Homo-oligomer: A and B are copies of this chain.
Amino acid sequence: MKDAAPGLDRFPHPHLAVDVVLLTIVEGALHVLLLRRGEEPFRGAFVLPGTFVRVEESLEAAAERLLREKADLRDVFLEQLYTFGEPQRDPRARIVSVAWYALVPPQRLEESLGGSDRVLARIAVPWEGLTGGPVRMHGPDGAALKVGFDHAAITGVAVLRLRGKIDYAPVGFELLPKDFTLLQLQQVHEAVLGTSLNKDSFRRRMLASGRLRATGRKEDGVGHRPAELFRFQRDRASRR
């Protein structure tokens, strides 16, 4: 870092953190990675993975570092969400947090879970459409989880963003394995939107989007006519 502004560091200024909302879909429902806090405040409650931003590190690099350290993930869909900066959002100090959200298929998460301090919480969205607001979280046993800080609200903003985006941007694919059927894709959209969708129209819309490439292969072992497997076709330039 340059030091052409020598007086700057002498004044107190807000601390800067990043938090990541890591979303996936399990059993037709949105889930988010939460960690159990070991310290005050909110000891024992669940929070999003977060870290302070280092002076030499970009915001995106800090979020990617979090994903590596807390979920052993790299190269996942990651997008900046919103910056939360209410003075009282953290009782310890003034900490402004740049929130990001990440999307990952559940298959890439299985191994990194297990301990009770790291949980894939099911998200219950208590509002419809694009209303917005905090969400509720439930543990693997179905019990409601205590969520620390403003992280239930941050997750609500992530759900809102995803709902607003899934209809026109290719984000549904990020929650599925490389090969998937149209039904699986539709179920992802339904889980995100919280509604049921018309099968015929969804099918037409997806096939007309030009983003699906048929693999020629079919699923198997399903007890009915197997569906064709598709793959996401990045339109021109890769977006990461």
Binding site for B on A (CB under 8 A): 1-5, 8-9, 12-16, 41, 52-53, 55-60, 80, 82-83, 85-87, 91-94, 96, 98
Contact = CB atoms under 8 A, between A and B. Distances in A.
Given A56-B87, A58-B86, A59-B85, A93 B13 contact: no
A85 B98 CA distance: 10
B13 A85 contact: no
A141 B5 CA distance: 34
A94 B14 contact: no
A55 B52 CA distance: 17
A91 B16 contact: no
A16 B86 CA distance: 14
Contacts of A8: 15, 92-93
A240 to B, nearest CB: 15
User: 6 closest pairs, A vs B, by CB?
Assistant: A59-B85, A5-B92, A83-B83, A4-B92, A5-B93, A14-B16
A83 B56 contact: no
A58 B57 CA distance: 24
Contacts of A60: 85
> Of A3, A4, A83, A86, which is in contact with the most chain B CB atoms at under 10 Å from its CB?
A83
A135 B58 CA distance: 23
Contacts of A59: 83, 85, 96
Contact of A94 (B12, B55, B83): B55
Contact of A53 (B52, B53, B85, B98): B85
A91 B2 contact: yes
Given A2-B91, A8-B93, 18 more contacts: A1-B12, A1-B87, A3-B93, A4-B92, A4-B93, A5-B92, A9-B12, A9-B93, A13-B15, A13-B52, A13-B53, A14-B16, A16-B16, A16-B96, A56-B94, A59-B83, A80-B82, A83-B83
